[in-house]
Amino acid sequence: MIGGVLGFIGRHWKGILIWTIVALGFWWAVQTFGAGNVFQVLFIIAATLFQLAFAILFVINKVWGLRVKPEEEQVGLDIAVHGEEGYT
């Protein structure tokens, strides 16, 4: 019982710490380089990551496929993939 509580606290404090570090880094960058330059760099990074994700998903779709077969989807993925019923 206590492990669930401590896990909950640890996850939330880790999230708060990460967002605080990101926010302080962003604030420092704006103070150092100016808001215009920082936003341009962030936009370039975001656009590059979008293109990279699109390219990776395109290759995965061509090699393996991102969707299941229509027959498997009709039967239900819990039965087709796992061999068990999730809902009765």
Q: Are 26 and 34 in contact (CB under 8 A)?
A: no
- The predicted-structure confidence for 67-85, as pLDDT tens digits, reads as follows 888 998 898 888 888 888 8
Structure letter (DSSP) for residue 69 = -
Greater confidence (86 vs 50) lies with 50
Structural contact between residues 80 and 72, judged by C-beta atoms closer than 8 angstroms: yes
Give the tens place of pLDDT for each residue, 33-69: 888 888 898 899 999 999 999 999 999 999 999 888 8
| Structure confidence at residue 49 (pLDDT) | 95
Handedness of CA 17, 19, 20, 24 (dihedral sign): positive
Same domain, 40 and 27: no
Asked if 84 and 50 sit in the same domain, the reply is yes
Residue 88 burial by Cβ neighbours in a 10 Å radius (0-12, 13-18, 19+): exposed
Model pTM score:
0.57
One domain for residues 78 and 59: yes
Q: Which residue has the tokens 């019923």?
A: 85
What total number of domains does the chain contain?
Answer: 2
Question: Is residue 24 domain-shared with residue 65, that is, in the same domain?
Answer: no
The pLDDT of residue 5: 66
Give yes or no: residues 1 and 26 share one domain. Answer: yes
